[in-house]
């Protein structure tokens, strides 16, 4: 038997055997023919993870994303209790089912775990540590799509009127007109703002740089806020109390929640401004490709997920183009 024949046998058995069974088959073929190469020494989970995250880091993944991936994968491997290259589909399926039961997790959470595990096992397959990914047969979890809330024009005006300081007013205007992520907002420095062109440079996910824009009202409120400050911090938004440290994500979230509670507006949080901008832009006819660039999405289907077209516009379009 030649090596080509052995490889053909292994490929033919791929649909019928799991990785552990395929390894047994490879061992048997190895004993019977000399042309099948020596088996590489089996790596531990820690060694495999180290190689995987080195590869992801080289691809430009942020340390925040890597930490989330690591926690998810390590937790799964620890619970299953097997070497990653020996794990089979049923073990992964049981882990996801047990996790959902134990934590009463949503379908979105379970699918996020599945997606992260899929990234790891697909990498193992691509790097020839396993013959086939055991999670390949575990399909995407179907999630019921719900129409998420956006701020109405009245809500936005209430939020502006409810601000009792220049910083909060400038921050709300900036979030609503730029559509940037809260993580991007807190990283902004004064020098990133171009008031003449009403634009600013932001660093999004994956350390990707892009330009975003703000309107005249945001410009005036931001200028008034900066002129009122007596600190030397380079950050665009800082805390109200000395020593006026850079505002954090949790600081923005808690402040917006407090303003919303005071005004009787439920669920006031930063990301809702982003979704509101996307929805308004689509409703007013902004090309989806331009909105994608404005929001900093690498994939256009992500933009479509954010932007929900109002039913009235669908009705009007039907009358215009069809009826």
List, for residues 163-220, the tens digit of each pLDDT value: 999 999 999 999 999 999 999 999 999 999 999 999 999 987 766 789 999 999 999 9
Phi and psi of 241, rounded to 5°? -100, 150
Burial of residue 88 (CB within 10 Å: 0-12, 13-18, 19+) is middle
CA 249 vs CA 109, 114, 238, 253, 273: distances in Å: 22, 27, 11, 6, 14
Q: What is the pLDDT of residues 204-246, one digit of tens each?
A: 776 678 999 999 999 999 999 999 999 999 999 999 999 999 9
Domain spans of the chain, in order of start: 1-39, 44-144, 153-318
Position of tokens 């996790």?
A: 99
Whether the Cβ atoms of residue 270 and residue 182 lie closer than 8 Å to each other: yes
End-to-end CA distance of the chain: 70
CA–CA distance, 59 with 47 (Å, rounded to integer): 19
Mean pLDDT, all residues of the chain: 87
Angle at 237 (CA atoms; ends 236, 241), nearest 5 degrees: 135
Helix residue spans in the chain (DSSP H): 3-13, 19-32, 45-58, 63-80, 89-103, 107-126, 153-161, 166-178, 182-185, 216-228, 249-263, 270-283, 288-295, 300-306, 311-321
The better pLDDT of the pair 274, 10 is held by 274
CA–CA distance, 42 with 223 (Å, rounded to integer): 61
Give me the residues paired with residue 189 across strands: 235
Statement: the pTM of the whole predicted model exceeds 0.85: no
Secondary structure (DSSP) of 1-57 = --HHHHHHHHHHHTTT--HHHHHHHHHHHHHH-SSSPPPPPPPPHHHHHHHHHHHHH
The better pLDDT of the pair 102, 302 is held by 102
- Give the tokens for residue 106: 């949503």
Class (C level, CATH) for 44-144? mainly alpha
- Give the tokens for residue 258: 């407090």
CATH of 153-318, one of 2.40.160.20, 3.60.70.12, 1.10.443.10, 3.40.50.150: 1.10.443.10
């Amino acid at each position: 038997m030649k090596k080509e024949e052995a490889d053909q046998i292994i490929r033919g058995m791929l649909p019928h055997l799991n990785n552990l069974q395929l390894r047994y088959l490879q061992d048997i073929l190895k004993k019977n023919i000399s042309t099948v190469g020596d088996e590489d020494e089996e790596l531990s989970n820690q060694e495999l993870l180290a190689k995987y995250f080195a590869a992801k880091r080289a691809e430009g993944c942020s340390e925040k994303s890597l930490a989330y991936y690591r926690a998810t994968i390590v937790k799964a491997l620890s619970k299953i209790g097997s070497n990653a290259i020996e794990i089979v589909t049923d073990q992964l399926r049981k882990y996801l089912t047990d996790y959902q039961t134990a934590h009463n997790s949503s379908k979105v959470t379970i699918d996020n775990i599945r997606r992260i595990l899929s990234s790891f096992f697909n990498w193992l397959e691509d790097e020839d540590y396993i013959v086939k990914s055991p999670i390949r047969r575990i399909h995407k979890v179907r999630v019921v799509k719900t129409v998420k809330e956006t701020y109405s024009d009245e809500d936005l005006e209430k939020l502006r009127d409810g601000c009792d300081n220049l910083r909060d007013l400038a921050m709300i205007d900036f979030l609503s007109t730029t559509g940037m992520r809260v993580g991007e907002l807190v990283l902004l420095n004064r020098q990133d703002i171009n008031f003449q062109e009403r634009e600013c440079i932001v660093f999004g996910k994956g350390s990707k740089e892009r330009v975003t824009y703000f309107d005249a009202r945001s410009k005036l409120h931001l200028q008034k806020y900066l002129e009122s400050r007596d600190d030397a911090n380079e950050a665009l938004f800082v805390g109200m109390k000395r020593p006026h440290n850079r505002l954090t994500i949790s600081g923005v979230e808690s402040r917006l929640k407090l303003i919303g509670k005071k005004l009787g507006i439920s669920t006031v949080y930063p990301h809702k401004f982003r979704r509101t901008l996307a929805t308004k832009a689509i409703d007013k006819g902004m090309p989806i490709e331009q909105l994608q660039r404005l929001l900093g999405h690498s994939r256009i289907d992500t933009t479509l997920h954010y932007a929900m077209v109002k039913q009235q516009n669908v009705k009007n379009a039907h009358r215009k183009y069809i009826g």
